[in-house]
């Protein structure tokens, strides 16, 4: 049993001497301690003015044994080594993914996470995912070609594979593109379980090296927010699913055999309250639970290498990143705040709306890709009526069986307030879209009035995000995915160079978040050694960084 006792006087580790005084700094006053906490790349010595004096921080000088004597010696409580933003996460993250920083720019859908954004991240030693969700396989292939030409093997980059339960074989077709084009890193999102497409992305390319070690041809990330979903991705793929892929000629027997010995994904992104699809769970509750599950399943399956668990959702300030790393996150992933970056595919009008967002300026709305299932996404509420209008459509879908059964007053309100067209005109526009994308959906809709109603209503949800990307005049219908992190980010950057839209590049944003997380982490380390670090040291503000 561990004895829990009150702390004694701070123990001494030795003594500190200013030596010849060159380059020495001593900090005991509040303002000096704030500056000391920001000097993360230097060894910091926590010292006392005297055996019973004030605790402060020293830089430079030299350490001597406890028994040394001299008028200029100060008792040493402890020494902290340099702390770099690169070291905040799991070191294996950088080694496996060939990046400098444990930081990911997530895959904002419909190409909002553009190839330009992904390229900027790669050139800065970070990982970005192209937002392939909502795009045709042909658009995805064009983006892959651009990334291969601009970055290739010189940097890290990836592409999103989103679960598409309402669109037949779309998921498989995008997986075909990613595998055929040799995309090395894929982020799977919105999955509630394993599908042939995501297992294929995980297992295709598995082989052994000369030492017998299993080598992946492709690294699979997965974003999730439920332990039961995490368990499926932390386990080897089911034998029946692997057998089906072998029978279809999509995996070799050797690849299927190797897949039985590795987890489906080795990078698990735990997504807390976030923009887009979200279960709204707090990171402080969700991440530790998944970390424990990871440990249990790793031990059960005796995996030979670590599985990394990262954090996403609500990460819009240095303090949020520092908290995620302190909880044990191997890496952090930012999402909706990157929509406000220069490289984002969102329109200038949409970015301007995001810059005005505060913490409570968000709402939940039906998701276009899982409308019939009742899934919801978190969106911007300030400056747009999208959420309220989308809810009206979903309520009508739940209450009525077809477009024809809509009561006259309900039909009229939907036509004038939401669709801005008659129901018949809205269906014709919807049908033209699906005849090009997947004619089978039109055939199904003509045979099933309820499906026709779902497609018609979903068209508003799908178009609303495209209007926000294009900067359409229908600004009060913009669907902009947004979580509380955007409001926190806006409060953090207010009055700094990042408040200027022309300065808000995705890389300066990331570097400042990481630098601030390191400074806050160091401030807490110094505080835990007994230094009276002021509250101001935990309020890192953006600044131009090289």
Average pLDDT (357-386) is 90
Q: Which residues contact 10 (CB under 8 A, 6 or more apart)?
A: 48, 55, 77, 529, 530
* Among 331, 340, 364, residue whose Cα is nearest residue 187: 331
Q: Tell me the C-alpha distance between 139 and 173, whole Å.
A: 12
Give the pLDDT band (50/70/90) at residue 8.
low
pLDDT of residue 65: 81
Secondary structure class of 62 (helix, strand, coil)? strand
Q: Which residues contact 299 (CB under 8 A, 6 or more apart)?
A: none
Q: Tell me the C-alpha distance between 207 and 257, whole Å.
A: 10
Secondary structure class of 26 (helix, strand, coil)? strand
Q: Tell me the C-alpha distance between 290 and 273, whole Å.
A: 15
Q: pLDDT digit string (tens) for 286-339?
A: 999 999 999 999 999 999 899 999 999 999 999 999 999 999 999 999 998 999
Q: Which residues contact 527 (CB under 8 A, 6 or more apart)?
A: 533
pLDDT of residue 14: 86
Q: Tell me the C-alpha distance between 513 and 102, whole Å.
A: 12
State yes or no: pLDDT of 394 exceeds 70: yes
Task: Quickly list H helices, 471-545.
Answer: 484-493, 506-528
Longest CA span, the chain: 94
Q: What is 311-339 written as a DSSP string?
A: EESS--SHHHHHHHHHHT-S-EEE-GGGG
- Residue for token digits 């209450």? 399
Half-sphere exposure of 438 (CA within 13 A, CB side): 14
Q: Per residue in 495-504, is it b (16+ CB within 10 Å) or e — as a string?
A: eeebeeeeeb
Q: pLDDT digit string (tens) for 239-275?
A: 999 999 999 999 999 999 999 999 999 999 999 988 8
Secondary structure class of 448 (helix, strand, coil)? coil
Q: Lowest mean pLDDT: which of 249-253, 439-443, 528-532?
A: 439-443
pLDDT of residue 11: 66
Q: Tell me the C-alpha distance between 40 and 27, whole Å.
A: 14
8-state DSSP, 533: -
Torsions phi, psi of 274, nearest 5? Answer: -145, 180
Token pair listed for 121: 């991240």
Q: pLDDT digit string (tens) for 444-481?
A: 999 999 999 999 999 999 899 999 999 998 999 999 99
- Residue for token digits 């020293």? 58
C-alpha torsion sign, points 154, 156, 161, 162? negative
pLDDT of residue 269: 97
**Is residue 469 within 8 Å of residue 347, measured between CB atoms?**
yes
Average pLDDT (437-445) is 89
Q: What is 145-157 written as a DSSP string?
A: HHHHHHTTTSS--
pLDDT of residue 3: 59
Q: Tell me the C-alpha distance between 466 and 446, whole Å.
A: 26
Q: Tell me the C-alpha distance between 129 and 126, whole Å.
A: 10
State yes or no: pLDDT of 52 exceeds 80: no
Share of the chain above pLDDT 70, in %: 97
Q: pLDDT digit string (tens) for 475-504?
A: 999 999 999 999 999 999 999 999 999 999
pLDDT of residue 409: 93
Q: Model's pTM, two decimal places?
A: 0.93
- Tell me the average pLDDT of the chain: 93
Q: pLDDT digit string (tens) for 74-122?
A: 999 999 999 999 999 999 999 999 999 999 999 999 999 999 999 999 9
Average pLDDT (356-377) is 88
Cα 399 from chain centroid?
A: 36
Token pair listed for 438: 């997947």
> How are strands ordered across the β-sheet holding 62-64?
25-27, 55-59, 44-48, 74-80, 14-17, 62-64
Q: Which residues contact 447 (CB under 8 A, 6 or more apart)?
A: none
Token pair listed for 230: 């995490």
Q: What are the C-alpha distances in Å from 297 to residues 192, 301, 309, 432, 488? A: 19, 6, 13, 48, 35
Q: Lowest mean pLDDT: which of 62-71, 229-238, 535-544?
A: 62-71
**Is residue 363 within 8 Å of residue 381, measured between CB atoms?**
yes
C-alpha torsion sign, points 341, 345, 350, 352? positive
State yes or no: pLDDT of 168 exceeds 90: no
Q: What is 155-200 written as a DSSP string?
A: S--EEEEE--TTSTTHHHHHHHHHHHTT--EEEEES-SS--HHHHH
């Amino acid at each position: 049993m561990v004895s829990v006792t009150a702390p004694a006087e701070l123990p001494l580790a030795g003594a500190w001497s200013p030596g010849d005084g060159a380059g020495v700094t001593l900090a005991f006053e509040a303002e000096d301690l704030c500056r000391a906490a920001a000097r993360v790349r230097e060894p910091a010595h926590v010292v006392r003015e005297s055996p019973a004096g004030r605790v402060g921080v020293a830089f430079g000088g030299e350490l001597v044994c406890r028994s040394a004597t001299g008028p200029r010696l100060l008792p040493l409580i402890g020494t902290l080594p340099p702390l770099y933003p690169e070291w905040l996460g799991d070191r294996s993250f950088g080694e496996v993914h060939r990046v400098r920083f444990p930081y990911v720019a997530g895959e904002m859908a419909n190409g909002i996470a553009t190839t330009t954004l992904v390229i900027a991240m790669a050139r800065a030693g970070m990982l970005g995912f192209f937002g392939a969700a909502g795009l045709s396989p042909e658009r995805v292939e064009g983006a892959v070609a651009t990334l291969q030409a601009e970055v290739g093997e010189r940097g890290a980059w990836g592409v999103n594979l989103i679960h598409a339960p309402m669109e037949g074989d779309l998921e498989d077709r995008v997986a075909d593109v990613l595998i055929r084009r040799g995309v090395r890193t894929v982020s799977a999102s919105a999955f509630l379980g394993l599908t042939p497409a995501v297992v294929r992305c995980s297992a295709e390319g598995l082989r052994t090296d000369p030492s017998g070690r299993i080598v992946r041809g492709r690294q699979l990330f997965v974003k999730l927010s439920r332990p039961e979903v995490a368990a499926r991705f932390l386990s080897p793929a089911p034998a029946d699913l692997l057998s089906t892929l072998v029978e279809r000629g999509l995996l070799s027997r050797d690849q299927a055999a190797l897949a039985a010995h590795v987890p489906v994904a080795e990078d698990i992104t735990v997504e807390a309250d976030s923009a887009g699809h979200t279960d709204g769970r707090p990171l402080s509750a969700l991440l530790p639970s998944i970390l424990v599950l990871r440990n249990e399943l790793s031990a059960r399956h005796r995996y030979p290498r670590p599985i990394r668990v990262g954090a996403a959702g609500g990460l819009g300030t240095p303090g949020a990143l520092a908290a995620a790393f302190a909880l044990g996150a191997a890496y952090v992933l930012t999402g909706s705040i990157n929509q406000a970056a220069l490289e984002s595919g969102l329109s200038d009008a949409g970015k301007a709306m995001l810059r005005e967002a505060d913490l409570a300026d968000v709402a939940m709305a039906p998701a276009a890709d899982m409308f019939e299932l009742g899934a919801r996404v978190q969106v911007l509420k300030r400056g747009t009526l999208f959420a309220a209008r989308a809810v009206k459509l979903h309520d009508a879908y739940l209450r009525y069986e077809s477009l024809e059964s809509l009561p006259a007053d309900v039909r009229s309100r939907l036509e004038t307030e939401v669709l801005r067209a008659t129901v018949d005109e809205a269906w014709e526009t919807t049908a033209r879209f699906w005849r090009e994308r997947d004619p089978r959906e039109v055939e199904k809709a003509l045979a099933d009035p309820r499906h026709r109603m779902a497609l018609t209503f979903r068209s508003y949800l799908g178009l609303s995000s495209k209007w926000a990307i294009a900067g359409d005049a229908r600004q009060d219908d913009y669907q902009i995915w947004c979580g509380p992190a955007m409001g926190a980010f806006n409060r953090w950057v207010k009055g700094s160079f990042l408040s200027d839209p022309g300065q808000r590049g995705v890389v300066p944003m990331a570097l400042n978040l990481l630098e601030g997380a390191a400074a806050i982490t160091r401030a807490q380390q110094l505080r835990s050694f007994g230094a009276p670090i002021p509250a101001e040291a935990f309020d890192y503000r953006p600044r131009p960084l090289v």
